């Protein structure tokens, strides 16, 4: 049996009456042993107990009832309201006064105690909330925490928080708690609060006023015909409306003015926290956009430069020849056209590189992995180089090489980029070595040149798009996409591309294909 | 190996391409080399011209409006026996392989140089003209393949090949400079029932390379990724 429920049933009055009746029944058998004054003393603790458990008013009822019981049952003549002697009258009157006063005192004490307890819980709640909302990063988690705390501390049937509609959409319920279903008219009231920034259903302030800007109206005023005891608070900051906090109390415990003030404080905290999170998100989004914009600008300017330069050169030469007409020297025409062919070749390779990179970056160029002999791939790489460049290539391939599991065409393209890069960045008379050897965890394919090498500071940057090295003024023409493409290809084939220093000088690019790239499926 | 050659008729070429600029460029380049050139803008027109003019070789673009180049290739192969050279765009490997399997003889990726185009056309015409088919030997670099005596030498030294290895090499050498699909190799060396067994083919090619390739990397038999192999014509 639930004592608390039994005591508070009917506002505690049935309990007060019952307590006095029960006490009377218990005392009655001892009527012969004590005088009436003795029974008066015995009733006082009962009155105090009622005051303690139910409250001052209930104890007053109990006092009056005990007065009647004493008169009827314990002061002769029994079962009559008349009293035999004056002293007994005085005794009864004194009892009534004592009972009433001690009941009142106890009742008030209890009230104050309860109020103090409530204050303490509210303070703890605000304390917890302020710490949590200051550190919380996700609006959802913040909302969850707030509604769970409100439900717990205010013992409400339902608490909910609506937010995330700053963009102008319909209110989204961010978090809710409690067993109660969504109150009827809740959506309408939430929309109304959002529209007007006014609170709905806040209890009367009883002395200490609410914050000035917090205007509250009855539910019926907001939506005619709607009756609810719920409280709907706007989550208002100085500059924006972040959402709505809803608290629906249980019928036995309507919300007090203190509860209202607590809810208003919670709403303030929630509002500032949600605003902070929203602004942070907006800021990071803006930052990301700005970065993307910057990259796009770089890309567009580099791309247009790469495409326009050879085109402009070719156009200039060809229009020059057209201009000259038939008088042009055939030898010069031939020389000019050879240059034009070079320009067009460069234009073609730039376009090809851009296409490759965009396909790699959008995952539209998936590798078809199969097992191949490394020598086979290197043979194709060699065959694709211009005959004049082939003479600069030497090989250093280990005998005990296992086959690799790669996309042949992609890997050949990646190695070709590395070889072209090595040829371009080293003296025309120097050799470029293509090597392959077994490593502890797989196979390494490397390309080594005898150029100036790559300064440590640039080792990461060379894999960035359009990066051409610090000495770019003297750097050979190229898209600056070869290395990024090679790295992307190697990565999508499950390997790793790194750059090392060659001995005695120069750069060595190493493609590491680990065991997983060697094993079958 | 001279491009210009004698001023007489070098051959009749049909170019099927929907791009006006490409048609005009190919026409002037080929006519300068004494080829007779017919131009078609669509696959349908190309089929008609093939019947009408019986070209010695067809240069066919794969990306055509209306009937696709692939479909044109399939229909041409029903009755046209001359070589078909495919023009494909970069990164359209699947179409390229499909066309080769439908009976196209080789491919070029746009954009290509005139040198490449002429080399491919020459290689294809040479084969159909029966010159290479009746040739008793093919030389490329230090390698010599003697078809009649079934003897292969590297740097003058005879190399012992198995029957299958020799057949593979002979088929590739007969088609020197031209791509040969795995499909074609399997069909011609092993027989139609072996088509699809690329793994066996790769093993044999690997053994063949071991015996004929003297350098660090293969130079004679090159892999055409996803397609097959090509016998390189070295100086």
Segment A403-412, tens digit of pLDDT: 889 999 899 9
Separation of alpha carbons A185 and B128, rounded Å: 87
Separation of alpha carbons A426 and A416, rounded Å: 16
Is residue A87 located within the same domain as residue A141? no
Q: What is the dihedral of CA A113, A115, A120, A123, to 10 degrees?
A: -170
User: Domain tally for chain B?
Assistant: 2
Separation of alpha carbons A318 and A336, rounded Å: 8
Query: pLDDT 10s digit of each residue in chain B, 235 long?
Result: 444 444 456 799 999 999 898 899 999 999 999 999 999 999 999 999 999 999 999 999 998 888 999 999 999 999 998 999 999 876 667 788 888 888 898 888 888 888 889 988 988 888 776 555 567 888 898 999 998 889 999 999 999 999 999 999 999 998 888 888 888 899 889 988 888 788 889 899 999 999 999 888 899 999 988 788 999 888 7
Residues of B with CB under 8 A from a CB of A: 90-91, 93, 111, 113, 206, 209, 215-219, 222-223, 225-226, 232
Given an 8 Å threshold on Cβ–Cβ distance, is B90 in contact with A373?
no
Q: Tokens representing B157?
A: 């030294």
Q: What is the dihedral of CA A300, A301, A305, A306, to 10 degrees?
A: -40
Is residue B63 located within the same domain as residue B117? yes
Asked if the structure places residue A513 within a domain, the reply is: yes
Distance from CA of A380 to the nearest CA of B (A): 6
What is the layout of strands, in order, in the sheet containing A393-397?
A393-397, A432-439, A442-448, A507-514, A495-501
Backbone angles phi, psi at B200, to 5 degrees: -60, -45
Q: Tokens representing B222?
A: 């090159």
Radius of gyration of chain B (CA): 18
Q: Which of A365, A310, A343, A348 is nearest to A485 (CA)?
A: A365
Q: Which domain holds residue B144?
A: 135-231
Asked if the structure places residue B119 within a domain, the reply is: yes
Other Cβ atoms closer than 10 A to A335: 12
| Predicted complex ipTM exceeds 0.90 | no
For A509, how many CA atoms within 13 A lie in the half-sphere containing its CB?
Answer: 29
Asked if the structure places residue A71 within a domain, the reply is: yes
Provide the phi-psi class of A438: left if phi over 0, else alpha when psi is between -120 and 50, else beta: beta
Asked if the structure places residue B5 within a domain, the reply is: no
Residues of A with CB under 8 A from a CB of B: 341, 344, 348, 352, 355-356, 359, 365, 368, 372-373, 375-383, 395-397, 407-409, 412
Asked if the structure places residue B28 within a domain, the reply is: yes
Is residue A220 located within the same domain as residue A152? yes
Is residue A462 located within the same domain as residue A412? yes
pLDDT digits (tens, 9 = 90+) for A84-140: 788 888 888 998 999 999 989 988 888 888 888 878 888 888 888 888 777 777 778
- CA of B20: how far to CAs of B26, B27, B39, B55, in Å? 10, 11, 10, 20
| Partners of residue A375 in chain B, C-beta under 8 Å | 209, 216-218
Look up the CATH number of the domain holding residue B62. Answer: 3.40.50.2300
Asked if the structure places residue B1 within a domain, the reply is: no
Rounded to the nearest 10 degrees, the angle between the axes of helix A374-384 and helix A408-424 is 50
Is residue A51 located within the same domain as residue A179? no
Look up the CATH number of the domain holding residue A257. Answer: 3.30.450.40
Given an 8 Å threshold on Cβ–Cβ distance, is A397 in contact with B217?
yes
Distance from CA of B202 to the nearest CA of A (A): 9
Separation of alpha carbons A378 and A434, rounded Å: 8
Is residue A77 located within the same domain as residue A105? yes
Provide the phi-psi class of A447: left if phi over 0, else alpha when psi is between -120 and 50, else beta: beta
Task: Identify the domain boundary among B90, B115, B131.
Answer: B131
Given an 8 Å threshold on Cβ–Cβ distance, is A365 in contact with B215?
no
Which of B32, B111, B209, B216 to probe the A interface (max A CBs under 10 A)? B216
Is residue A377 located within the same domain as residue A349? no
Q: Which domain holds residue A322?
A: 304-361
Distance from CA of A133 to the nearest CA of B (A): 54
Is residue B67 located within the same domain as residue B144? no
Tracing tokens 């229909």 back to the chain, one arrives at B75
Positions of chain A with pLDDT under 50? 166-169, 472-473, 517, 519-521
* Contact indicator for A160, A234 with CB cutoff of 8 Å: no
Radius of gyration of chain A (CA): 45
Q: What is the pLDDT of residue B90?
A: 66
Backbone angles phi, psi at A423, to 5 degrees: -65, -40
Q: Tell me which DSSP letter residue A74 carries.
A: I
Is residue A110 located within the same domain as residue A231? no
Q: Tokens representing A513?
A: 């294909």
Name all contacts of B2-5 with Cβ < 8 Å and 24+ positions apart.
Answer: B3/B33, B3/B118, B4/B33, B4/B34, B5/B33, B5/B34
Is residue B17 located within the same domain as residue B127? yes
Tracing tokens 């479909």 back to the chain, one arrives at B71
Asked if the structure places residue B6 within a domain, the reply is: no
Total-model pTM: 0.58
Q: Tokens representing A292?
A: 């993307």
Is residue A327 located within the same domain as residue A273? no
Task: Identify the domain boundary among A328, A343, A361.
Answer: A361
Q: How far apart are the first and last CA of chain A?
A: 68
What is the secondary structure of B154-206 as a DSSP string?
A: ETTEEE---HHHHHHHHHHHHTTTSEEEHHHHHHHHT-GGGTT-HHHHHHHHH
Task: Identify the domain boundary among A218, A249, A282.
Answer: A282
Is residue B36 located within the same domain as residue B116? yes
Asked if the structure places residue A43 within a domain, the reply is: yes
Is residue A352 located within the same domain as residue A384? no
Q: What is the pLDDT of residue B130?
A: 57
Separation of alpha carbons A237 and A270, rounded Å: 9
Q: What is the pLDDT of residue A307?
A: 83
Task: Identify the domain boundary among B131, B163, B189.
Answer: B131
Residues 6 or more apart whose Cβ sits within 8 Å of residue A87? none
Is residue B18 located within the same domain as residue B120? yes
- CA of A205: how far to CAs of A115, A260, A301, in Å? 16, 8, 65
Task: Identify the domain boundary among B83, B114, B131.
Answer: B131
């Amino acid at each position: 049996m639930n004592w608390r429920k039994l005591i508070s049933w009917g506002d505690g009055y049935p309990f007060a009456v019952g307590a006095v009746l029960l006490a009377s029944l218990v005392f009655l058998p001892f009527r012969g042993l004590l005088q009436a004054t003795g029974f008066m003393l015995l009733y006082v603790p009962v009155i105090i107990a009622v005051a303690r458990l139910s409250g001052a008013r209930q104890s007053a009822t109990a006092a009056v009832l005990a007065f009647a019981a004493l008169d009827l049952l314990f002061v002769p003549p029994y079962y009559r309201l008349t009293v035999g002697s004056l002293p007994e009258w005085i005794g009864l009157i004194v009892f009534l006064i004592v009972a009433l006063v001690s009941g009142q005192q106890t009742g008030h004490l209890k009230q104050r105690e309860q109020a103090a307890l409530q204050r303490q819980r509210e303070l703890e709640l605000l304390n917890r909330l302020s710490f949590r909302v200051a550190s919380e990063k996700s609006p959802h988690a913040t909302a969850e925490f707030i509604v769970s705390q409100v439900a717990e501390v205010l013992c409400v049937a339902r608490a909910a928080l609506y937010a995330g509609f700053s963009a102008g959409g319909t209110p989204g319920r961010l978090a809710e708690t409690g067993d109660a279903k969504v109150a009827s008219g809740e959506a309408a009231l939430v929309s109304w609060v959002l529209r007007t920034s006014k609170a709905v259903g806040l209890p009367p302030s009883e002395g200490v006023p609410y914050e000035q800007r917090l205007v509250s109206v009855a539910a019926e005023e907001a939506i005619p015909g709607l009756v609810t005891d719920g409280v709907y608070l706007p989550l208002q900051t100085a500059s924006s409306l972040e959402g709505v906090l809803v608290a629906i109390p249980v019928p036995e415990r309507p919300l007090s003015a203190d509860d209202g003030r607590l809810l208003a404080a919670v709403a303030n905290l929630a509002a500032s926290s949600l605003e902070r999170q929203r602004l942070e998100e907006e800021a990071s989004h803006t930052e990301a956009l700005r970065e993307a914009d910057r990259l796009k600008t770089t890309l567009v300017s580099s791309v247009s430069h790469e495409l326009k330069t050879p085109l402009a050169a070719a156009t200039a030469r060809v229009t020059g020849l057209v201009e000259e007409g038939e008088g042009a020297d055939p030898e010069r025409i031939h020389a000019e056209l050879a240059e034009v062919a070079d320009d067009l070749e460069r234009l073609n390779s730039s376009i090809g590189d851009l296409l490759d990179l965009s396909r790699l970056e959008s995952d539209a160029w998936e590798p078809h992995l199969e097992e191949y002999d490394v020598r086979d791939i290197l043979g194709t790489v060699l065959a694709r180089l211009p005959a004049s460049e082939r003479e600069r290539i030497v090989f250093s391939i280990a005998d005990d090489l296992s086959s690799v599991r790669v996309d042949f065409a992609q890997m050949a393209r990646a190695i070709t980029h590395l070889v072209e890069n090595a040829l371009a960045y080293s003296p025309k008379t120097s050799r470029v070595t293509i090597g392959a050897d077994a490593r502890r965890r797989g196979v390494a394919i490397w390309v080594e040149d005898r150029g100036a090498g790559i300064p440590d500071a640039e080792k990461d940057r060379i894999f960035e798009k359009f990066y051409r090295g610090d000495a770019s003024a003297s750097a050979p023409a190229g898209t600056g996409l070869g290395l990024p493409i090679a790295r992307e290809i190697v990565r999508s084939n499950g390997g790793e591309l790194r750059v090392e220093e060659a001995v005695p000088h120069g750069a060595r690019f190493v493609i590491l294909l680990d065991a997983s790239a060697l094993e079958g499926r | 190996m001279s491009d210009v050659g004698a001023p007489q008729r070098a051959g009749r070429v049909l170019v099927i391409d929907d791009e006006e600029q490409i048609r005009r460029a190919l026409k002037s380049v080929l006519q300068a080399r004494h080829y007779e050139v017919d131009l078609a803008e669509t696959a349908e027109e190309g089929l008609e011209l093939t019947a009408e003019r019986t070209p010695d070789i067809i240069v066919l673009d794969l990306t055509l409006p209306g009937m696709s180049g692939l479909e044109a290739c399939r229909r041409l192969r029903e009755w046209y026996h001359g070589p078909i050279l495919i023009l494909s765009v970069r990164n359209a490997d699947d179409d390229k392989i499909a066309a080769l399997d439908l009976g196209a003889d080789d491919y070029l990726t746009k954009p290509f140089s005139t040198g490449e185009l002429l080399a491919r056309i020459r290689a294809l015409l040479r084969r159909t003209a029966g010159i290479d088919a009746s040739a008793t030997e093919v030389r490329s670099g230090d390698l010599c393949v003697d078809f009649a005596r079934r003897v292969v030498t590297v740097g003058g030294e005879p190399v012992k090949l198995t029957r299958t290895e020799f057949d593979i090499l002979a088929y590739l050498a007969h088609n020197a400079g031209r791509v040969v699909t795995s499909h074609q190799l399997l069909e011609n060396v092993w027989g139609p029932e072996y088509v699809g067994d690329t793994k066996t083919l790769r093993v044999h090619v690997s053994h063949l390379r071991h015996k004929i390739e003297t350098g660090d990397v293969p130079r004679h038999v090159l892999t055409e990724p996803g397609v097959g192999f090509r016998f390189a014509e070295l100086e």
